[in-house]
Amino acid sequence: MPEVTNSLVSSIQMWSQSVTCSLEDSKQKKTIYALDGIRALTCLGVVSFHLNLRAYIAHVWSPFLDNFGAMISSLALIGETGVLLFFLLSGFLLFLPYAKAMLFDSDWPSWQRFYIRRIFRIFPGYYVALFLMLLYLSPEYLRAANWDKLFLFLTFRMDFPATYQQLNAPFWTLAIEVQFYLVLPLIAWLIGRLVRGGSLRLRMCKLSFCLALLWMWGFITRYWGFKLADTHQLDTIIPHEFAQMLRPYIFGTVGKFFESFAIGMSVCMLYIYLHSAPNAANLKGRISRFCPLILGAGLVLLFAVNIWHYYVIYMIHLSFHFLDPYQNFMESYRDIVMQDGFSFAYGFILFAVLHGSRWLQRPLEWAPLRWIGFISFSLYMWHDPFVIYFFYMLLPKFQNMGWNVTAQYTVYVLWVDVTTIPLAFTLYRWVELPGMRLGEKLCKLIERTPQKIKIAPIAEPAAVEDVPAVLSGSSSTKNVV
């Protein structure tokens, strides 16, 4: 009997390894395996948010409305904030080579290689999804009257007011991701001009200052977009008509989320320092002991801000009555402050996972969870159309048959699982993965021997995942929502 058990376990392990190998990109690269798990949980959180929100609207799910019960119910909608974690992951992953070059004088990353990889990571999966959704779900966008909106979809400007959350709700976050990709090499070059030179401590101070400025830019433009853009208070500084023309490019509809990207880049800076600095081993060990507390602080902050979010957005006057005295403040500043609260919470959590003990990372490295991380880009893009289809086409049939809400919800979840997960696997395997491999081939064709910068040998940083964090299904956002 033990031999049979061992043989079964061995077979399962071999099958698991073969599945993982078939999903991983073929190029040699170091990988932070835990980030695949984080990406998977983030994507599943976004999926659960859309599931539960539409279930709430259709009265398939009824949350508890009292103070304590509402706190528990709010967790069913916390997945909406996963979009911000996707942005943090993109900031962290894509800034890694730049941070190492700034702090330790390694080779400066090639901008050609960067853009080719991003293009072939995002474009194939997105354009296939866009074409199929236009063809089968919203053919009206193919008519001449809507070509202006179609052009926005084709050029990744789905966060503009004219197309925000149209055709497919998660698409707007892809626009944020791609726009960040466009400016990141320029931002990194400008920061590098200031940071490179001087002692390591001085470089850390200068890089911290630059990332703080990037965060401030995101905060200021968010405040301007929500509070000032529709007024004439700044007409003496910038004409109102000109400001409105710039608004889609500076702010979009809900902001460009540079605060979230900056927090991810700050976690990246600390990660590179702790893994590469010659004398950082002791500091890294001390920090590791405090990571459970850092993780706990991040989770507490996440839960607290989510209560604010839940109270203001979804069920105001129905729950959390102890917050009613603060209602005006919470409503006035939710769009300005709430996003930063979530981003800082996720920043603490990400830092704790990256630098904590193995028991923090091992659950996130579970193979099935990593598989979901690999396919998260397509899963992110495709789940909402199947959710909507269920509510319009299938739910009424189950209701007419007299099924109770528990049975309706169970079938609803199973429907989304058995449709979107196999589809995401298929698209990743036959669209996304070939696109990434083609991008690598093009990089090798145009690559020239880089000019080496002689530096003292330092410890290599732990694994780096070269994929978008979120919308790319992506390690991502693999990456984007």
Q: Does some domain include residue 4?
A: no
CA 476 – CA 375 distance, rounded (Å) = 10
- For the cut 80, the answer to whether the pLDDT of residue 280 exceeds it is yes
Q: Does some domain include residue 372?
A: yes
Q: Does some domain include residue 391?
A: yes
Which of 123, 243, 244, 98 has the alpha carbon at shortest distance from 177? Answer: 123
Distances 75 to 4, 119, 244, 339, 353 between C-alpha atoms, Å: 42, 35, 37, 17, 21
Backbone angles phi, psi at 169, to 5 degrees: -50, -45
Which of 114, 236, 260, 235 has the alpha carbon at shortest distance from 176? Answer: 260
Lowest mean pLDDT among 34-38, 113-117, 451-455: 451-455
Mean pLDDT of 3-28: 59
Chain-wide mean pLDDT for the chain? Answer: 86
**Predicted confidence band at 457 (pLDDT cuts at 50, 70, 90)?**
very low
pLDDT digits (tens, 9 = 90+) for 377-393: 999 999 999 999 998 89
CA 39 – CA 467 distance, rounded (Å) = 11
**Predicted confidence band at 478 (pLDDT cuts at 50, 70, 90)?**
very low
pLDDT digits (tens, 9 = 90+) for 172-206: 999 999 999 999 999 999 999 999 989 999 999 99
The separation between the first and the last C-alpha atoms of the chain, rounded to the nearest angstrom, is 47
Give the per-residue pLDDT at 455.
40
pLDDT digits (tens, 9 = 90+) for 248-267: 999 999 999 999 999 999 99
Q: Does some domain include residue 477?
A: no
- For the cut 60, the answer to whether the pLDDT of residue 348 exceeds it is yes
- For the cut 50, the answer to whether the pLDDT of residue 95 exceeds it is yes
State what percent of residues in the chain have pLDDT above 70. 85
DSSP secondary structure string for all residues of 426-440: HHIIIIIHHHHHHHH
Q: Does some domain include residue 462?
A: no
Q: Does some domain include residue 363?
A: yes
Tokens encoding 444: 């090798």
- For the cut 90, the answer to whether the pLDDT of residue 61 exceeds it is no
CA 314 – CA 235 distance, rounded (Å) = 35
Total tally of structural domains belonging to the chain: 1
Q: Does some domain include residue 298?
A: yes
Where does residue 409 rank: exposed (0-12), middle (13-18), buried (19+ CB within 10 A)?
middle
Residue 312: domain span: 28-446
Q: Does some domain include residue 70?
A: yes
Q: List helix spans (H) across 105-170.
A: 111-136, 147-154
**Predicted confidence band at 29 (pLDDT cuts at 50, 70, 90)?**
low
Q: Residue 246 CA to chain centroid, in angstroms? A: 25
Reported pTM:
0.88
Q: Please state, as a whole number, how many other Cβ atoms lie within 10 Å of the Cβ of residue 86.
A: 34
Give the per-residue pLDDT at 467.
42
**Predicted confidence band at 296 (pLDDT cuts at 50, 70, 90)?**
very high
Lowest mean pLDDT among 94-98, 151-155, 259-263, 280-284: 280-284
Give the per-residue pLDDT at 30.
61
Tokens encoding 301: 């902050």
